[in-house]
Structures are given as C-alpha cells and as structure tokens.
Amino acid sequence: MGDDAYIQALNQAVKQEIVQNYFRERRIIEEEILLVTEAVSGMLGGLYAWEKHRARLGRALGDAAIREKFFSAAGITPPRPESVASAAPAVGLTPIRGLTRAARYASLIQGLYKVLVDEAAGLEDERQRAIKLMKEVNQDILAFEANHDLMMLESYLRSMNPEALQKRKILGVNFTAKEKAVSAEALSFKPLKARDMGLNEALPKPRPVSQVMEQVGGLLKQALKRNPQAGQEFF
C-alpha cells in the first residue's frame, strides 16, 4: 500500500471512529432527554390525580357557595362543577368516625383537604427534580455540541452511499441548501426549555391544613345547616 493510500485509509478510520463516538454520545443524550420526559410525565400525572381529589373534596362540600368560600380560604381555585358532579365519593377512604355528625363531617373535610396539601408538596418536589434533570441534560448538550465538528460529520455522512444514509434517517440524498440546513440541525440538539415542557407553570399551593380548618369551622357548620346530609355518601 502506497503512502497516499495508507494516509487515506487512516483518515477514513479516524473519521469512522469520530462518527461512532458521535452516535454513541448521541444515544446517551437521547436517553437523558427521555428521563426528563418521564419526570415531566410523572409530574403531570400527579397533577391529574390532584385535580381529581380536589373535585372529590368539592363534592363533599356540597353547596357551590360553600365550595367557593372554602377554596378561597385554602388559596386554591375551586374545581369545575362538571368535575364535582363526576367525582368519586368514597374511593380509598377509611371510615370516618366521630361523636357528632358535625365532628365527623369536619374530620372528613380535613382528611380530604390534607390529601391535597400533601400531594401539592409532592408535585413541587417532582417539578424541582425534573428541572434539575433538565439543567443537567442541557449542560451535556452544550458539551456534546462543543465536542463534535458537525460540519465535518455532515460532510462525511454525505460521502456514504445512499442506502446507509437512509438507514441513519438523518440526511437526505439530494443536498440542496435547504436540505443541508435541515441535516445540520438534525445532527445537533436544541437545549430543553422549561416553558415548552410545562415546568414553569404555577403549581397549586394550598394553605396549611391547621390554618384553613381553623378558618372554616363556622363555614362547615353552615354547610350542615343548609344540607343535613352533607358528606353522607362518604361515611
């Protein structure tokens, strides 16, 4: 083998190793992005469950005016009437006991509200975890972009046969200026944004249980006067 052929073969081997390293690191970034997506999905699933439990509390409160006043005292938005109407009354609840009906009703409302407070705290923990993961991934993306010459990679991949290109699903066969821009973009990653992933949306922040229950004691008695059977389906 002549010197020119040897040098060409060596250059080809080096380019292949660079491309292999690129795809290996690309898979790592893709897996990290998937972890962020799963964390966000977990948070959104928890928010969906929280909204169902908020509707269940609204159902236990009964009267719409009572609901408005209670949720105003709690510092959170009341559930929609249609959500209240479709809420399950007693799924997963332990029996409510008390000496009087008023005491049992207050215990019921306190228990349902405590679920909202605890779950809201968990949602914020999940959001912070997702944000932390997202920042770590963005740092890895910046390092990934800095470590790879995307123009060289594009040029090398364009030199491959069309069948190999199609397997990669990254570049086209006919390279117009627009296709070059698209292929260069496909080789890189865009940093993840909290706004696009719903991580900058305000989460519910209900006030402390003791503070709210102290404030709504008279309201719950009023609810029982209006409807002596309030909360009966939960007992």
The closest alpha carbon to 94, from 108, 84, 106, 105, belongs to: 108
Report the pLDDT averaged over residues 161-166.
52
Query: Is the separation of the CB atoms in 142 and 191 below 8 Å?
Result: yes
Report the pLDDT averaged over residues 152-170.
51
Alpha carbon of 220 to those of 101, 104, 168, 170, 207: distances in Å?
A: 11, 11, 65, 63, 17
Give the pLDDT score at 234: 79
Give the pLDDT score at 91: 57
- Confidence bin at 173 (pLDDT 50/70/90): very low
Report the pLDDT averaged over residues 182-196.
73
Give the pLDDT score at 19: 65
φ and ψ at 159, to 5 degrees?
A: -80, -10
The closest alpha carbon to 79, from 62, 100, 96, belongs to: 62
What is d(CA 212, CA 189) in angstroms, rounded to the nearest whole number? Answer: 47
Give the pLDDT score at 168: 46
E strand or H helix that includes residue 210? helix 209-215
What is d(CA 212, CA 57) in angstroms, rounded to the nearest whole number? Answer: 14
What is d(CA 233, CA 88) in angstroms, rounded to the nearest whole number? Answer: 10
CA contacts within 13 A on the Cβ side of 125: 7
Interval 134-151: pLDDT, tens? 999 999 988 877 765 554
Interval 24-55: pLDDT, tens? 888 888 899 999 999 999 999 999 999 999 99
What is d(CA 4, CA 49) in angstroms, rounded to the nearest whole number? Answer: 67
Per-chain mean pLDDT for the chain: 80
What is d(CA 132, CA 124) in angstroms, rounded to the nearest whole number? Answer: 12
φ and ψ at 77, to 5 degrees?
A: -75, 135
DSSP state of 232: G
Is the model's pLDDT at 179 over the cut of 70? no
Most confident of 13-17, 181-185, 199-203: 199-203
Q: What percent of the chain has pLDDT over 90?
A: 47
